[in-house]
Structure 1
Amino acid sequence: MSNHNFDQEVSQARYTGLKIKEGDNLSISVSAFDEMAVKPFNLNTMASTNDPEKSTGAGSGGYFVSPEGYITMPVLGRIYCLGMTKKALKEDIEERLKAYLIDPMVDIKLNNFNFSVLGAVGSPGQKSTNNEKINLFQAIALAGDMSTSADRTKVKLLRYSEESQKDTLVSLDFSDASIVKSPYYYLQQNDILYVEPDKNAQIAANTTNPNRALFLQLLAVGFSVLALIIRLTN
């Protein structure tokens, strides 16, 4: 593999901003020098949202990306954003606002970030957070940390790329300090982490509890099914 290809793959895997997907909930705030002129463009100053049935609650606002890939903003109307980065959407909205405001500024935050942690952790399953820049250790912490039977040197990360429509499976060693420099250190939307149980601990547990082997087999099947479901719903 050439150095150019390596650098390109690392750059794509690093945290550079999430692409907007159907069902995402975006917080979008508009500001400008004239505070009165800005009010009509912000949800928290409007009586209704673009989707009342999916309102995120009083005062929080939020724009849900429709199945067709649109959000609907006050005054500006429908804006297509499916597959865009936050930076690209920010620039698009700011350009539209220039017809109404002088030097408008737009801030966009993703309210829902979903990932799954399975295997030898305290609380396996799908997790959701409002922090869109979450690293591997934070993800494991949200899943109740690794259990005593976990093999910290063998953690699998499954990531689906919409561009190539393929899965990438990588093995991570949480005992290696250089993991913080890994191109996979920051999670992306819908990543799946699978913490493998330590084989020696598994053998010992199976000796005292024959049902544990069946449980682990079912867990592995569940992992595969969940990966398929997440891929089909994207």
Structure 2
Amino acid sequence: MKKTIINYLFLLSFIVLSCKPKQNMVYMSDNQMEEQIVQAKFKGLNIQEGDVLLILVSAMDENAVKPFNLNTINKVGSETATGLNQYVQPSEYLVDEYGNINFPVLGNVYTKGLSKVQLKDHLESLLKKYLTDPLVTINLKNFNVSVLGEVKVPGQKESTTQKLNIFQALSLAGDMTDFGDRKKVKLIRTGDNGLEQVINLDLSRSDIVSSPYYYMKQNDVLYVEPDRNKQVQANSNPNRGLTFQIIATALGVATLIFSLTR
């Protein structure tokens, strides 16, 4: 009887210890939030090969600006003294493998590596040859990131804002699962030289907000590694946990019956 109870208590202790609180579940958990941490400055995005740019050119002379906008549409029902009032939609330009866009009248314009502000200034300077006080508006159409691994809704995500940080990207994927390791997150990013970089990030550290990789860039990939518990579970018998429960229950019942029959 005594030996049976000891065995039962040993098994019960093993089960309790195996259910210890899970680690690496809290973001920025290094208890340094009271210290002053400088947040990374958002510097905007650099244009990459394969980007789709939405560009609109405007000027005082509506007729002179027409050749520089591909999507000039007559607005029905609003005639003016000069004819139909015209509504102009931004035109789409694909950045080709050489980093160029094919712009009306101007021809190939190199854009790769430039920020939107730099490209805006460059186009306006080129258009001054044809227009008086041209104004160029540029937006990026395809701001997409991919979030994979231990997240609830993995896949490619489209952001409505280009100022997207790591935590906002994770929220687009429904946040990490309980098995995601916040200390082991990989960021895969294509550099200006066309080569892919793999950066290891620790989201349990509060100074992640000052990292140069805090803000996402278009076509970035975030991969959340599974924690050790998930890796062990994946490499073990999926029925092992149930087996432990059955054994523990059986021993408990046997011990109770034995003690009642004495």
Identify whether the pair has TM-score above 0.5, normalized to the shorter chain: yes
User: 1:121-136 residue pairs with structure 2 within 5 A?
Assistant: 121-129=151-159, 131-136=161-166
The structure having more radius of gyration, on CA atoms, is: 2
Q: Against the structure 1 CA distance between its residues 101 and 171, is the aligned structure 2 distance closer, same or farther, given a 3 Å change threshold? A: same
1:157–1:172 Cα contact (<8 Å) kept: no
Question: Once the two structures are superposed, what CA deviation does each residue of 1:147-205 show, in whole Å capped at 9, x if it has no partner?
Answer: 121122332223332338462422221x4443323221101233221112221344356
Deviation at 1:145, TM superposition (A): 1.7
Question: Percent sequence identity over matched residues?
Answer: 52
Distance of 1:195 and 1:178 partners within structure 2: 19
Displacement over 6 Å in runs of 4+: none
Q: Corresponding residue for 1:52?
A: none
Asked if 1:74 corresponds to 2:101, the answer is no
Q: In the alignment, which of 134, 142, 163 is matched to residue 112 of structure 1?
A: 142
Higher relative contact order (CA 8 A, sep 6+): 2
Larger helix proportion of the pair = 1
Q: Corresponding residue for 2:72?
A: 45
Q: Size of the alignment, in residue pairs?
A: 187
Deviation at 1:90, TM superposition (A): 1.3
Distance of 1:194 and 1:132 partners within structure 2: 20
Distance of 1:181 and 1:138 partners within structure 2: 15
TM-score between the two structures when normalised by the length of structure 2: 0.60
Q: Corresponding residue for 1:144?
A: 174
Deviation at 1:94, TM superposition (A): 0.3
Distance of 1:69 and 1:26 partners within structure 2: 12
Q: Corresponding residue for 2:82?
A: none
Q: In the alignment, which of 119, 123, 126 is matched to residue 93 of structure 1?
A: 123
Distance of 2:194 and 2:232 partners within structure 1: 39
Unaligned runs of at least 5 residues, structure 2:
1-39, 75-88, 240-262
2:181–2:225 Cα contact (<8 Å) kept: yes
Unaligned runs of at least 5 residues, structure 1:
1-12, 48-58, 211-234
TM-score between the two structures when normalised by the length of structure 1: 0.66
Which amino acid letter does the alignment assign opposite residue 52 of structure 2?
N
